[in-house]
């Protein structure tokens, strides 16, 4: 595998777009309250995401964006879609084991799928 053929700019743009999309999805403007209630988390005005979780989120987005970038070099869109669906399914199963509500699970899965779509778009445009 030659990593030189990966469009690293598209990988970074896709990961950044996905991170910003998550910021919007989990913000008070959209689903923060519903997600927090369904996840058993109490939000306050001082609530901040845990630093470790944010670092892992960024790492995971970079990993997924890299997978999408690699599949783009082989024109393997179906493999990219399967990777996104695998990530969403694992996220849902983990949340279900933790007792999250259906709404919180849907928000989590929707975020992963939306993030993956943004990564594919970044590869297609750039």
pLDDT value for 44: 80
Low-confidence ranges of the chain (pLDDT < 70): 1
CA 10 to chain centre: 16
pLDDT value for 1: 59
**pTM, 2 dp:** 0.92
- Cα separation, 126 vs 123, whole angstroms: 5
- Residue 29's SS3 state is coil
- Cα separation, 30 vs 92, whole angstroms: 19
């Amino acid at each position: 595998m030659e990593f030189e053929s990966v469009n690293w700019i598209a990988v970074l743009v896709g990961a950044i777009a996905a991170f910003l999309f998550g910021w919007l999805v989990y913000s008070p403007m959209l689903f923060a309250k519903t997600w927090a209630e369904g996840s058993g988390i109490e939000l306050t005005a001082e609530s901040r995401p845990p630093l470790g979780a944010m670092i892992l989120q960024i790492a995971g987005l970079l990993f997924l964006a890299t997978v999408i970038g690699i599949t783009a070099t082989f024109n393997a869109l179906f493999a990219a879609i399967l990777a996104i669906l695998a990530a969403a399914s694992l996220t849902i199963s983990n949340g279900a084991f933790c007792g999250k509500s259906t709404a919180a699970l849907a928000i989590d899965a929707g975020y992963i799928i939306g993030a993956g779509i943004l990564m594919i778009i970044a590869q297609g445009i750039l």
